[in-house]
Amino acid sequence: MSALLSRVRQPIARHPIAAFLIIGIGAYFAVAMIPPLTKWELTAFDLPLYGIVGGFAGVGLAAFLVTAAADGRAGVADLVARTLRWRVPLRWYLIALLGVPAGTALLAFAVYGTEAFERPSGGWLHVAGAVALLFVLQLLLFQLAEEVGWTGFFQDRLRHRYGPIALSAVVAFAWAVWHVPDFLAEEGWSLESVISSFVFLAIEFVLLFFARVVIVWLYERTARSVLIVVVFHASFDATISRLAEDLVPASDAARFGLVSAVIMLPAIVLIVAARRGMAFGSRKVVPTRPAASV
């Protein structure tokens, strides 16, 4: 048995990035093809079971398995420490938690005026409670495993290879591929849907690129705290899935575009700053291990 484990571990340790992508993306595709998992959702919030299972069994588990194979117990301990790194200045919690909803409210007011703040059915207290509950569910059931994989493992392992913009593009492309099963689970696994998924992939890559620029900035500025990234991601999802329904008196497409703009605008500022030589991190990054193999 030990010999078998050693034979499995060796190629993973030699090619951790490739192993992570194969396990993480492959598991998500496999889970999204199981009908019982794609049909069951958490009522009231439309949270799919396949997304929960696929996230934890895919990139979440892959991050720890590959780290254990490549870096041993010390690597796993480091990944856990970064995932639970909560000792960061309060301002970063405020930015991660309130940045997207506050920006959405301001942009909605700029576009729609006072109509954006008309009292919704049930009142704003009910809306705030629903958004808060969805935020907690998203954080625990989806974003925690997702960002342990994409930020804690994938992004972190490549951070010494690329500058912040190139790093954002590399992670965003793999991240977009990982989201393709979401499209196919919704549209069906027909040949027509598979062909259409390439258009989805292109659009998703652009949107996720801007989101990843902000995430790279947050991660570096908070001494590599995955937790802050998880909070930010869950806040974005809760805003676009629930809060925007009452703040943006328009179609779902308009809501999606407005909340996406809240991410794109600061991302563009960060891109311009990076091109002018302004660092993303608060201090110079010193490699703690050799660059990862693919």
Q: What is the pLDDT of residues 179-206, one digit of tens each?
A: 999 999 988 889 999 999 999 999 999 9
pTM score > 0.85 for this model?
Answer: yes
* 291 inside domain: no
SS3 151: helix
* 285 inside domain: no
* 123 inside domain: yes
Specify the higher pLDDT residue, 251 or 133: 133
Q: What is the pLDDT of residues 216-241, one digit of tens each?
A: 999 999 999 999 999 999 999 999 99
Domain extent at residue 162: 2-275
Phi, psi at residue 280, to the nearest 5°?
Answer: -75, -40
Does the pLDDT value for residue 137 go beyond 80? Answer: yes
Specify the higher pLDDT residue, 171 or 188: 171
* 34 inside domain: yes
* 200 inside domain: yes
Q: What is the pLDDT of residue 1?
A: 55
Number of domains present in the structure of the chain: 1
Q: What is the pLDDT of residue 184?
A: 93
* 292 inside domain: no
* 287 inside domain: no
* Rounded CA separation 177/62 (Å): 16
Residues facing 48 on adjacent strands: 41
* Rounded CA separation 46/195 (Å): 26
DSSP state of 113: G
Closest C-alpha among 266, 265, 228, 260 to residue 244? 260
* Rounded CA separation 151/155 (Å): 5
* 95 inside domain: yes
Evaluate whether 7 touches 144 at the Cβ level (below 8 Å): no
